[in-house]
Amino acid sequence: MKLLNLDHVAIAVHDLDTAIAGYADRYGVEPLYREVIETQGVEEAMIPVGGSFVQLLMPLGPETPVGRFLSKHGEGMHHIAFAVSSIDAALEHLKSRGARLVDEEPRPGGRGSRIAFVHPADLGGTLIELVELSGA
Ligand code: CO
């Protein structure tokens, strides 16, 4: 298990265009990628900040994980994501430690990545995403 860097901090928002405009106005930053990820029920925008990203997440509907998060908590920080060199090795390691996983197996993420989530109840009340970037 090796964490390469803090890939992104994800923020759940009601409206992606409004959030992107807000970041442009306040911080002078623009998204590098924007894509719909059907399997996660989100549209996401990735705003580069140094070597990491702010990931703005808008649910595709109320009955998606991010949709339910928004109705319960409102807008705000949703998860943090660590880049790993091998997501398979990372998941094996976490299973061997008895970690509570949301995803037992990797699934497709943005930018052609493979991702998996670790349950917030596992450590520090924080939803953690592991990302293996393609070509990493
Ligand atoms: Co993420």
CA of 53 to the centre of ligand 1 (A): 10
Per residue in 71-93, pLDDT tens?
Answer: 999 999 999 999 999 999 999 99
For the chain, what is the mean pLDDT? Answer: 95
Is residue 136 scored above 70 in pLDDT? no
Q: Strand 128-132 vs strand 76-84: parallel, antiparallel, or unpaired? A: parallel
Domains and CATH numbers, the chain: 3-132 (3.10.180.10)
- Which SS3 state, helix, strand or coil, does residue 99 take? coil
Give residues with Cβ within 8 angstroms of 66, minimum separation 6: 12, 40, 41, 42, 57, 58, 59, 78
CA of 76 to the centre of ligand 1 (A): 13
Going along the chain, which residue ranges are E strands? Answer: 3-12, 33-37, 42-49, 52-59, 76-84, 107-108, 114-118, 128-132
CA of 10 to the centre of ligand 1 (A): 6
Per residue in 32-51, pLDDT tens?
Answer: 999 999 988 999 999 999 99
CA of 92 to the centre of ligand 1 (A): 20
CA of 80 to the centre of ligand 1 (A): 7
What is the pLDDT at residue 110? 82
pTM: predicted TM-score of the whole model, two decimal places = 0.92
CA of 11 to the centre of ligand 1 (A): 9
